[in-house]
Amino acid sequence: MDKATTTPTPPGPRTSIDKHKIRFLLLEGIHPSAVAVLRAAGYSQIESLPGALPDDQLKARIADAHFVGIRSRTQLTAEVLSHAQRLAAVGCFCIGTNQVDLSAARERGIAVFNAPFSNTRSVAELVLAEAILLMRGIPEKNAVAHRGGWLKSASNSFEIRGKTLGIVGYGAIGTQLSVLAEALGMQVVFFDVATKLPLGNARALTSLDELMATADVVSLHVPETPATQWMIGAAQLARMKPSAVLINASRGTVVQVDALASALRNQALLGAAIDVFPEEPHSNKDTFESPLRGLDNVILTPHIGGSTLEAQENIGIEVAEKLVKYSDNGTTTSAVNFPEVALPAHAGKHRLLHIHRNVPGVLSSINRIFSDHQINIAAQYLQTREDVGYVVMDIDAAHSELALAELARVPGTLRSRVLF
Ligand SMILES: NC(=O)C1=CN([C@@H]2O[C@H](COP(=O)(O)OP(=O)(O)OC[C@H]3O[C@@H](n4cnc5c(N)ncnc54)[C@H](O)[C@@H]3O)[C@@H](O)[C@H]2O)C=CC1
Ligand SMILES: O=C(O)C(=O)COP(=O)(O)O
């Protein structure tokens, strides 16, 4: 049986708990495939809630969770994480991890995982569909028809074949979109801060300004970072052709929505499709407020770019498997904020996991414990990342209790566990 022992910060109390006492808190309607993976791995304390929790409830509920699963809505700030004394890892059941204070988590020895690929196809498909609908003026024609009108006209209606798609952020989603768009006969240009291999006949442009001025369809696929915050404002919109459209399925903070609303009202743009907003409702019961409401040439969607059953099911499996691996075996492969270690099985041995501040002296203190007590280390793995070190040692069962107690006392210890 696997057991885990977690010490919050030394000299905090050591709690030895078995698998059935490890608590998983899943929020925001994570797909049941995640629960199935956790159950199959022998975990039974799993609470899955349909929505995000208000801050005060989140702080209360996270306090006794060992693992928490969230999507894009839940904000795990440093303040919220300070209530998470037992938390070993966070699973973001999505791509974006901007909702988690990654360095605060790392400093507390909390690993953060995500699903970097599972919903990329869903976003790319939606964007492509929106590009076609916008270039045909469908949002407006649809709205008018619902009001009893009839807008049969070819004016401002275009095929996307032969038009230029400008992709801002040529990563996992941007590249998929690039390939799909070329298959429909579009020409693709992109702008990325990193050097990226252009797929097919796509062309890299050297500036955002050039992309905004060139493209008939501009689609944003950058992460939320200080550099992407409000990167599309009045000046960038003014560069677009009046016959062009803007699609944002990245993060709400990338576009200045007031500037966009006024560009759309002034017909400086043909239309827009927006899936993400600076302020999004907490749940389906809350009201959605936006200056873009009421504009017929805008497709508004409630942050559902990645919300397909296929994507959600895959994400549930992928992230739950990462949490299980970390809990059962200590593997941190693909953690977004943490030293990455891929570990083999440890049959017949107890495995000690020690997460510490990456400061001089910690490793020698650890090694001294083993030499002072003459404990043989069968295997040792070490990885550091920024200010945190992660060392894993496989030892004989007879010594693990003693070694764990000693490890927890090493100055600089953030967390320690034993698996067996
Ligand atoms: N609407 C939705 O439901 C979904 C939204 N997303 C959002 O889409 C974003 C992108 O996803 P992926 O393509 O998987 O991420 P990715 O990390 O694979 O690609 C992002 C690309 O943006 C580039 N980039 C970063 N900063 C930039 C800047 N200032 N200017 C230009 N390029 C920049 C990066 O170099 C990278 O190539 C996610 O971070 C997430 O916020 C992701 C999935 C679903
Ligand atoms: O994957 C992402 O980054 C998304 O934005 C999708 O978020 P969601 O899981 O739908 O809240």
DSSP result, 231-264: -B-HHHHHTS-TT-EEEE-S-GGGB-HHHHHHHH
**pTM of structure:** 0.93
Atom of ligand 2 nearest to the CA of 114: 1
Residue-by-residue pLDDT tens, the chain, 420 positions: 334 444 343 333 333 458 889 999 999 999 999 999 999 999 999 999 999 999 999 999 999 999 999 999 999 999 999 999 999 999 999 999 999 999 999 999 999 999 999 899 999 999 999 999 999 999 999 999 999 999 999 999 999 999 999 999 999 999 999 999 999 999 999 999 999 999 999 999 999 999 999 999 999 999 999 999 999 999 999 999 999 999 999 999 999 999 999 999 999 999 999 999 999 998 899 999 999 999 999 999 999 999 999 999 999 999 999 999 999 999 999 999 999 999 999 989 999 999 999 999 999 999 999 999 999 999 999 999 989 999 999 999 999 999 999 999 999 999 999 998
The residues lining ligand 2, judged by C-beta closer than 6 Å to any ligand atom, are: 71-73, 94-96, 119, 303, 306-307
Q: Considering only CA atoms, which residue is closest to atom 35 of ligand 1?
A: 194
Task: Look at residues 214, 96, 228 and name the one whose alpha carbon lies nearest to residue 165.
Answer: 214
Atom of ligand 1 nearest to the CA of 117: 14
How far CA 237 is from CA of 36, 141, 302, in Å, comes to 46, 24, 23
Query: Of all helices (H) and strands (E), which one includes residue 315?
Result: helix 309-329
ipTM: 0.99
Q: Compute, in angstroms, the gap from residue 237 CA to the centroid of ligand 1.
A: 20
Q: Catalytic: 251?
A: yes
Residues 6+ away with beta carbon under 8 Å from 149:
none
Which ligand is the nearest neighbour of the Cα of 207?
1
Q: For residues 373 and 403, is the Cβ–Cβ distance under 8 A?
A: yes
Q: For residues 224 and 278, is the Cβ–Cβ distance under 8 A?
A: no
Axis crossing angle, helix 397-408 with helix 362-372, rounded to the nearest 10:
140
Q: For residues 328 and 322, is the Cβ–Cβ distance under 8 A?
A: no
For residue 215 and ligand 1, the question of a CB distance below 6 A is answered with: no
